[in-house]
Amino acid sequence: MAAPFVVNGAFLSSEFQEIHRRLSLTRDFRNYLDEEVVKKLEITVSSINDVLDDAEKKQYRNTKVKNWLVLLKHEVYEFEQLLDVIDTESLQREGTIRRFVSGLKKRSEYRIMIKELLQRLELLVEQKDILGLQKATRDNHVTRIRISRMRPEPVIYDNYREHEKEEIIHFLLADTDCDNQDSGAI
C-alpha cells in the first residue's frame, strides 16, 4: 500500500519563486512566446503563489485542496523540466547554423507545450477560487511566526532522577577510602 502523499506548501512556494525568477532569466524563453503569453504566465504563477499558504493549511482538512496541490506540484515539475529543456537547447544552439533549422521546429513544439501548460495552470487558478483559497495577508503570516516562537519548550522533571543524580555526585566526591566501602552497582 502506498504511503499517503503530503504536499509541502513551503516547497511549492519556493519552487514558484524560482520559476518566476527563471521566466526572466531563461535564455531565449521570450523568443518562444509573444509578450502577452509571457505576462499571462507570470500573472498566473503569481496568482497561484499567493494562495499557497492557505492551501498548505487546508490540505489536511480538505482532500480536494490536497488533490489540487498534488496537481499543482505536477505542473510545477513539468514547467521546470520545460524551462530546463529550453535553456539547454538554446545553449547547444549557440554558434551553430545547422541546429538553427532544427531549432525552429522545436520552438513551435515548445510554444505549444508552454501554451498547454498555461491553460492547465489557468484551470488551477479557477479551481483555487472554487476551493475558497485565500491570499495570505501579512498579518496572518506574522501571527503564525509569533505563535511558533511563543510555544513553550517541554519541561521534563522527575524528582526521583534528581535524587539519583545527587547520590551519584555525593558518592563520587566522597573522601572515604574505596577499599573500606561496599560499593554496589549504581
pLDDT in tens for each of the 186 residues of the chain? Answer: 333 333 444 556 566 666 666 666 555 566 666 778 878 888 888 888 888 888 888 889 999 999 998 998 888 888 888 888 877 777 776 655 555 555 566 778 888 888 898 899 899 999 988 888 888 765 444 333 333 334 444 445 555 567 777 888 888 887 665 555 555 555
Tell whether 139 is covered by a domain: yes
For residue 122, the enclosing domain spans 9-150
The kind and range of the H/E element at 35 are: helix 35-50
Tell whether 108 is covered by a domain: yes
3-state helix, strand, coil in the chain (%, to 5): 75, 0, 25
Query: What does the pLDDT read at residue 67?
Result: 92
Please count the structural domains in the chain. 1
Query: What does the pLDDT read at residue 64?
Result: 92
Tell whether 176 is covered by a domain: no
State the Cα angle at 122 between 138 and 104, rounded to 5°: 120
- Count the Cβ atoms, other than its own, within 10 Å of residue 44: 19
**What's this model's pTM, rounded to 2 decimal places?**
0.57
115 and 54 in contact (C-beta within 8 Å)? no
Reduced to 3 states (helix: H, G, I; strand: E, B; else coil), residue 153 is coil
Tell whether 2 is covered by a domain: no
Tell whether 160 is covered by a domain: no
